[in-house]
Structure 1
Amino acid sequence: MRSSPGDSADGYVIYRRLLRHAFPYWKVFLLAVFGMVIFSLSQGAFAKLIEPMVDGSFVDKDPAMIKWIPILMIIVFAIRTIGSFLSEYGMAWIARSVIQNLRSMVFNKLLCLPIGYYETTSSGGLLSKMVYDIEQLADAASTVVTTLIRDSLTIIVLLVVMMYLSATLTLILLVAIPVIAVAVVLVSKRFRKLSHRIQRSMGDVSNVTEETIEANREIKIFGGQEYETERFEKVNAYNRRQHLKLVATNAISSPLIQQIVVTAFAGIVYIATKPGFLDEMTVGKFMSFMLSMILLLQHAKRLTTINAKLQRGIAAAYSVFTFVDSEPEPDRGTRELTHVEGRVQYQSVTFSYEGMENEPVLSDIELTIEPGESVAFVGRSGAGKSTLVSLLPRFYEIKQGRILIDDVDIKDVTLTSLRSQIALVSQQVTLFNDTIAHNIAYGALEHADETAIREAAEAAYALDFIERLPEGFDTVVGENGVLLSGGQRQRLAIARAILKNAPILILDEATSALDTESERYIQGAIEHLMEDRTTLVIAHRLSTIERVDKIVVLEAGRIVEVGRHDELLAKNGQYASLHGIQFSTT
């Protein structure tokens, strides 16, 4: 999927891939096609009925014709109704099934993408793929296919009827087909180009809107309303312009193609009304031919309007399939990591972010952490503390060096087994719009019993505030725990880590969101949590790490000091300098 999305051959490949997702529903498709066939035949039958109706009923006044023609018309339209329902509902059923499957594919891809992907991609753009782009595929997978097959079949049936009535007049109409084909090809490229622009602009609209919702307090405090309004109006106006260009192209192309067809019709009418033809055709036959032409024009008009939907669908499919084809987190390990003691070793680890190979974030890291040992990582902002710790659960993949757990290279183990041995309490607490119980017993912990959940909450000093809530553990916390205070959210995150009971623990400034009273309680819970576990602490406030077994000082991606709190203060080096800055008074 590397070729240009504007290329017609590439568009064919993309659309064929989209249709492959409909293949599992071929039985429903055959039923829908059957409906299209009987719909098309009913259209031809209705046009043909005009001849005996006019000649037999009105001209010859045949009693049998007068009796049977109305009955036949009712039967024909009943068949037409059945065919229309089967085709439209059947194709819509297939389309919604395809959309459901594609949404599941996109969602599953979201779950397995590497952390770096989210750091370089806007969440608004990802949401736009899930909501807007995939929805565009519904028309391409149902309306377009239905119109293409049903109207094409109907046109063929009507042409057969017209050939039967007058081959000469029908051939005049067929002269217009090559001209129409050229016009459709030229317009298709324009449609696809504009559709890609619209999809990108929808991602921008979603992104700006999402940022405004999330940062509403900052916007109000810092007076950012005017700036955000200008930013939104810019992307909103661009989106409007691209939509109008698409509408303008459609508004010009459809009447133009119809004009070509009408010109051919006008030639047919002119020739058919000349004396030579009038002698050969009865009034009924001529009326039947004209009705066939009118019906053909209607179906040809519908065919000309599906091009815009088709190109939007191809552009949307390109966007969705490009995302689905994104590389997931590499998980080539085959060993299962079990019964971990917790010995961690960094051996000659050097790391750079993707695209920044000449600017290493970490350089030649050598570090051994013994089982049950607590180690704090300190340093100025940008020193590499978070990156160093994030390498352990393989949020990022290292290119140079090795990281071992119990003498096993973490690249050789499966991601699931590796991460099952690690618990995380982050500075940015993430809670889900679910109950407190499910937020504590999240994911692989969901089968934990109520007693274990309660004990974890009590150990994290969260039980008191949970029991004061109206529904206790069944209280829904709202989006990202919006109904709870920062300290309460942090305590739930600690309870989740306690419940997991993993041998390796990562603490990313776990008391940062707590008030003084809460911090006093939580500090005791954290010390209890750290017992008999290998703990890696990312520390910003040095007062919280004075009792850890080892402090690692980082500067510009390198380890510059290692020791206990009192040892490093005595050295009067980098750690002592950081400590002095934080605790200095004027």
Structure 2
Amino acid sequence: MDCNPDGIILTTARESNFRFFSSYLLHHKWEYGLGIAFIFATNWIAVNIPLYLGKSIDLLGDDTLVDQQDALMQAIGMVIALALVMVVTRTVSRILFFNPGRAIEREFKDDALARLTSMQPDFYREHETGTLISIVNNDINGVRALAGIVMLQVFNIIFALSLTPLKMFQISPSLTLYCIFPVLITFAIAHKGIAYMRLMMRARMGELQEMSASTVGFLSGIEVIKSNHIQGWAETAFAGENDKILDRSLKLARVRTIVLPVIAYTDRLLKVLILGVGGSYLINQDLSLGDLTALLSYAALLAMPFISLGLVFSAWQTGIVSLESMRRILDQPLHPQDQQHKQAPQREQLFSHQLRVENLSYTYPGSASPALTDISFEIKPGQTVGVVGQVGAGKSTLVNCLNRYLAVGPGQVFLDGEDVTVMSRQDLRSAVRTITQEPFLFSDTVSENVRFGAADHAEALSLEQALHQGDMLAEVEQFPEQEQTLVGEKGILLSGGQKQRLSLTRGLYTPCKLLVLDNVLSAVDNETERFLLDQIFNHARAAATLIVSHRASVLEQVDTILVMADGKIVAQGTHAELLEISPEYRHSWQLQQQGDGVDA
């Protein structure tokens, strides 16, 4: 295993699907081990029942035995007893396989979410949200079937197709050899059909992912679709993708109608062979009537494995394609430092001295010009630093470099003298808390959105205090269920200003080291803005604050202001100093003062 210059893990050889999947199976080796033992017991009982049936038939035709009735009742009793025991072993075997299958499904989902939360923006630029949702919610079903029903039936088929022919061979070796030829023909046809089905299933799964991505896009832009009266276009586009899936599904159905019946009717051919060839053996007295009955029973026993074989082939192919799809997430490389976390005492000491930025430059992938150029400044505990600039000046890019949402190069950002690129993102973000300009609320209650991520933080504010600091208390008290009111998906039931203030409330709920506010007051009025600024500057429990805005009036109370333009810091100083030395800052401040006067 190697690392590239950016520190991303690169594997020299991709692990096979068998080894990858086996690592999950081994988590439940005891359940699977017991399940295999119970499946063996079930099949062993199943192949012994026909022997007693055959014995019963022979006893009915044998008038020479003195204790014929007792022997017959004993044979019938054994059939009943074995059948009852088989019910128990069969039920237990299914429990021992299906439960681990569900548990492995949960493990796959947990691991997929953990990997998704570790991925950086480049990954999400390459993978649409709808595709990822389809993989985690739809493709996982194939993996669950692979770990449950397929695993069970594989061992069931192995034992059935080994124990049953063995018993048949013990009765009539030559007749058993006759039965081998239909089996070989069946496997040859199945092999060709299943190979084609795999290609169709992989293509269908990709089409399902594309349709899921389109559906998410349509639903996210539903207001745009309605306002522009393009419902017909959306319906046509969706119908086109739906038709592609229908065509693919019909092709799969045609293959199944050819392959699966061939597999299922193999046992019928075996019965014909046994009756035809075995009948001649019976006439020549090479077999007894009981032996022929037992052989016909074994042919019936072979029916279920052959029927199951078709279903297993189909489920196996679906499972393998699903596993490949899940590995698009689970095989994503990780940065090695993100797996190495500081001890709790060391983490508590972060941001004891300063956050220092030295000659920071950043260029977005695919862009010819840099978004940031030679940015240098520092912020220490106890300070409040502001960043101001017009739209497109690089303010949000700077914030995303500080919290490493964007991948910065080494030697540019330091926390207490330590390069942040050798520090896990989790450790860095435990000291640097960011509230973005695009607030995100979960489809949950007001209280749960405020408490999100706080767990049982000992120094958390009361919910009432936090809502007051975010200027949401009065409004929440007017909600139908107050703090237990659901805010809807992405906070759709709230206004833009309410979403911003509730997001700010979440950030103020617990203390932090460095609080970064990225234009979080853009959707509030002047009076609310003044109240929130008072709470941020005078009541927030952050060791330091970095507040970003395109409005100069917001930053009048900060210790130092950085003026940005075209990705560079063009001036820095206090509000009074910048009014003297920076034409850009002075012009911006004057325009905003005039605008505020008009609003007033």
Q: Provide TM-score, normalisation by structure 2.
A: 0.84
Distance 1:506 1:466, change over 3 A: same
Q: How does 1:149-168 map to 2 (within 5 A)?
A: 149-168=155-174
Answering whether residue 357 of structure 2 is matched by residue 346 of structure 1, we say: yes
**Alpha carbons of structure 1 residues 453 and 263: separation in structure 2 relative to 1, 3 Å:** closer
One-letter code of the match for 1:418?
Answer: L
Displacement of 1:171 in angstroms is 0.8
Residue 522 of structure 2 corresponds to 512
Amino acid at match of 1:403: V
Task: Count residues in correspondence.
Answer: 575
Structure 1 residue 403 and structure 2 residue 399: aligned?
no
AA matched with 2:290: G
- Any idea what SS the aligned residue of 1:443 has? coil
* Alpha carbons of structure 1 residues 16 and 172: separation in structure 2 relative to 1, 3 Å: farther
- Per-residue deviation at 1:51? 1.9
1:131 alignment partner in structure 2: 137
How much has 1:408 moved relative to structure 2?
3.5
Q: Aligned to 1:396, what secondary structure does the other structure show?
A: coil
Instruction: Flag the 1:278–1:531 CA change in 2: closer, same or farther, 3 A.
Output: closer
Q: Secondary structure at the match of 1:500?
A: coil
What secondary structure does 1:391 align onto? helix
| Displacement of 1:70 | 3.5
Structure 1 residue matching 2:366: 3-state secondary structure? coil
Alignment of 1:160-199 (within 5 A): 160-199=166-205
Whole-Å separation in 2 of the counterparts to 1:511 and 1:527: 14
Answer yes or no: is the 8 Å Cα contact 1:350–1:401 preserved in 2.
Answer: no
Equivalent in the alignment of 1:38: 41
Q: Is the 8 Å Cα contact of residues 441 and 448 (structure 1) preserved in structure 2?
A: no
Distance 1:32 1:26, change over 3 A: same
Aligned to 2:439: 429
**Contact (CA 8 Å) 2:282, 2:292: kept in 1 or not?**
no
- For the residues of structure 1 that align with 2:505 and 2:63, how far apart are their CA atoms? 92
Pick closer, same or farther for the CA change 1:572–1:538 going to 2, 3 Å.
closer
- In the TM superposition, what is the alpha-carbon distance from 1:475 to its structure 2 partner? 4.2
Q: What SS does the corresponding residue of 2:515 show, helix, strand or coil?
A: strand
- Tell me the amino acid that sits aligned with residue 453 of structure 2: G
For the residues of structure 2 that align with 1:76 and 1:179, how far apart are their CA atoms?
34
Match of 2:427 among 400, 417, 420: 417
**Which residue pairs with 1:64 in the alignment?**
70
Secondary structure of residue in 1 paired with 2:412? strand
Q: Write the letter of the residue equivalent to 1:356.
A: G
Q: CA deviation at 1:304?
A: 2.7
1:461 corresponding residue in structure 2: 471
Confirm whether residue 492 of structure 1 aligns to residue 502 of structure 2. yes
Aligned residue among 385, 390, 396 for 1:379 = 390
Match of 2:84 in 1: 78
1:51 counterpart (54, 60, 66): 54
Q: Which residue of structure 1 lines up, in the alignment, with residue 598 of structure 2?
A: none
Answer yes or no: is the 8 Å Cα contact 2:150–2:316 preserved in 1: yes
- Equivalent residue of 1:375, what SS? strand
SS at match of 1:461: coil
- Please give the alpha-carbon distance, in whole angstroms, between the structure 1 residues aligned to 2:61 and 2:282: 23
5+ long unaligned stretches in structure 1: 2-9
Deviation at 1:45, TM superposition (A): 2.0
Q: How far 1:210 moved relative to its partner?
A: 2.7
Letter in 2 for 1:109: R
**Does 1:26 pair with 2:29?**
yes
For residues 269-321 of structure 1, the C-alpha deviation after alignment (integer angstroms, 9 at most, x for no partner) is 43334478643222222222122123213322211321110111111122223
Structure 1 stretch displaced more, 329-338 or 372-381: 329-338
**Which residue of structure 2 lines up, in the alignment, with residue 522 of structure 1?**
532
Instruction: Show structure 2 runs of 5+ residues with no match.
Output: 2-12, 596-600
- The residue aligned with 2:398 is 388
After alignment, is 431-440 or 563-572 more displaced? 563-572
Q: Partners of 1:347 and 1:450 in 2: how far apart?
A: 34
Q: 1:505 to 1:470 in 2, by over 3 A?
A: same
Residue 66 of structure 1: CA displacement? Answer: 4.3
- Pick the aligned partner of 1:13 from 16, 23, 32: 16
> Partner residue of 1:7?
none
Letter in structure 1 aligned against 2:316: L
* Letter of the structure 2 residue corresponding to residue 39 of structure 1: T
Q: Which residue pairs with 2:240 in the alignment?
A: 234
**Residues 1:120 and 2:130 are matched in the alignment:** no
CA distance in 1, matches of 2:239, 2:528: 44
